[in-house]
Structure 1
Amino acid sequence: MAQSRKEVWQEICNEIRRGSAHILITGSRGSGKTTLLERLLKEGMLPGGEQAGICSFALRNRDGTPSQIILEDRSDGQQQAIAEGFVPGRGPKVKAEVLDHFGVQAIEHAKSASGCWAVIDEVGFLENASPAYCRALLRLFDQKRVAAVLRKKDTALIGAIRSRTDAVCFDLDNFEKE
């Protein structure tokens, strides 16, 4: 029988207390990845993470289709669009230059922030447009404890993160909602 969300919460908290370097949360769309990450922050389980890291989210048109993907630097709240112009069947036009500059700068802010945690919500496929951003993100895992939400995609970046031996991954699709 699958474990409940209460049990996964307890497992994640135990891993954090044991000193696991990185916590990775994955699952299908709507599985509660971001909600769980935000709860970890709210409950004080990721000291410093509220001011260190990146948050990405979609701005949507009236019909619900995404118009832009925004990247937010948790350190100062600055935001920039990293993708826009969605074409059905082809996806968004990624702004690699924004990831190269603003995205890398946000990761540098996370590295230098006080506290031992950085929070990344989320890592998907857009990041692959910027090798500089991917390198900076992977270096962050060598310098801070990271709690990250990963989309359920097979990309080189997600594969590199998931293959870390110092990371514990929780797939929310394996846990029953309450």
Structure 2
Amino acid sequence: MNNCYLDAEAVITFFRMTGRKHIFITGSRGSGKSHLVNNMLKHMSDSFNLLQSHRTDTPQVVIKSNLVADNKEFVIGVPRTSGINPASKGNNMTITESGFINCAIPAIDTHLDTTPEKLFIIDELGYLESSCIQFQKAVEKLLDNSHVLAVIRKQSTEFLNRICNRKDVLVIDIDSTFEPISCIIMASGMSERFGSNKLIADFNGRSLFENAVSISHFAGFGETLAVTRHDEVVHICEDKNIHFLRHDMPYRNEMVRLGVTRILSDNASSGNPRPQGILFLPSDQPLITKTSLQLLCLTFLYYGDKICRLSYNENAGSPCIFPAGYYDELLNLPEKKGGGFLTKKYPAQVVLVPVRDEYELYDIDTPDDITRLLKYLG
């Protein structure tokens, strides 16, 4: 599966929020690591230096840098002529150390001697790089004295493991990034102030509920479940093959209980571990962005045991993610109460994740609200 869906701006914002010094992007071959890095650089105003390797048609692996010989390419790997192991996952290359000595190491030295304040990009670090001791020492000196954005090949070597485990390094694995989180789309509201079922009201060419489903696709959740009491929503789910749970319960606590019970049951029956967190997505906030939703999820996965929710100017809103430690309480909420009961009960356990635009947190209660948000969209 190609996971180029990861939002570059969300990753950059998350990285800065963590206060880490370096960020490594890893994932399986063809997962879009370099694609993500290139998109990240478009959002960065900082200038940078670059060390880049790639496989040629020869095939050889070559390396180049803007700091060395006008980007001249130097060979760092050639195909093995014997002892090829089909299970070696691309390690059937023999290192050519001269490429590291004449290009990679001088590039790092020049960067540290002239512009250590700049970001240094490495695309990529892998098996060959792990085989050159002098280059390893240069990289670790670079990490000690500058800022690095690197693509890391997804394999285990002593060198790669060592630098990935540094406390100043943030590692983003883009393979199934958000699968540990499940999503419940809340679609059971009675729309009392709206005058009709707002979930099927048109917003910019599709229903509010369909907008919510589209927002849920901003992250590749392990499971997404719509919880509803409305026939119209059920018909949309059936037509678009959306996993849903239909009920006739009157209160919010019952909707939460039913959704959480189904999510946990589905994971148990399929032999999967229960999700690390469950995100509750409202159906009436059509302007939630991909960047904000992914930033919320990245923040949750970073903390692991915190309740995370979107906010604007420290004013908390939705969506909200609850970690597994709160599932029992979600299943036993007081009558008519939703997840907000737990955020008020445990305020010290809540992490607020900022959105850029207050309109992302606006919910639609009346037809005038739709008119106002459409005017905002222009």
Q: Per the shorter chain, which TM-score range? A: 0.7 to 0.9
Distance in 2 (alpha carbons) for counterparts of 1:36 and 1:156: 25
Please say if 1:77 is aligned against 2:79.
no
Please say if 1:55 is aligned against 2:57.
no
Structure 1 position 158, deviation (Å): 0.5
Structure 1 position 107, deviation (Å): 1.4
Tell me the matched-pair count: 166
Distance in 1 (alpha carbons) for counterparts of 2:162 and 2:21: 15
Match of 1:151 among 145, 150, 153: 153
CA-to-partner distance for each residue in 1:105-151, whole Å, 9 max, x for gaps? Answer: 12112323434311111100102332111100111001111111100
| C-alpha contact (below 8 Å) 2:79/2:94 kept by paired residues | yes
Which moves more between the two structures, 24-33 or 87-96?
87-96
Distance in 1 (alpha carbons) for counterparts of 2:112 and 2:103: 14
Distance in 2 (alpha carbons) for counterparts of 1:151 and 1:30: 11
Note the aligned Cα RMSD (angstroms). 2.4
Name the structure, 1 or 2, with higher relative contact order (CA <8 Å, separation 6+).
1
CA-to-partner distance for each residue in 1:84-107, whole Å, 9 max, x for gaps? Answer: 134443712211232133221121
3-state SS in 1 of match to 2:143: helix
| C-alpha contact (below 8 Å) 2:62/2:73 kept by paired residues | yes
What is the identity, as a one-letter code, of the residue corresponding to 1:92? M
Structure 1 stretches of 4+ moved >6 Å: none
Please say if 1:110 is aligned against 2:111.
yes
Question: Relative to 1, partners in 2 of residues 1:155 and 1:91: Cα closer, same or farther, differing over 3 Å?
Answer: same
TM-score (norm 1): 0.82
Identity of aligned residues (%): 25
Q: What does 1:9-158 correspond to in 2, within 5 Å? A: 9-16=9-16, 19-44=19-44, 47-49=46-48, 52-61=49-58, 67-75=59-67, 76-87=70-81, 88-89=84-85, 91-114=92-115, 115-158=117-160
Distance in 1 (alpha carbons) for counterparts of 2:11 and 2:39: 14
| C-alpha contact (below 8 Å) 1:53/1:107 kept by paired residues | no
Greater fraction of residues in strand: 1
- Matched with 1:64 is none
What is the identity, as a one-letter code, of the residue corresponding to 1:148? A
| C-alpha contact (below 8 Å) 1:12/1:23 kept by paired residues | no
Unaligned segments of structure 1, at least 5 residues: 62-66
3-state SS in 2 of match to 1:41: helix
Distance in 2 (alpha carbons) for counterparts of 1:53 and 1:112: 15
Say which one has the larger Rg. 2
Distance in 2 (alpha carbons) for counterparts of 1:73 and 1:55: 6
What is the identity, as a one-letter code, of the residue corresponding to 1:58? R
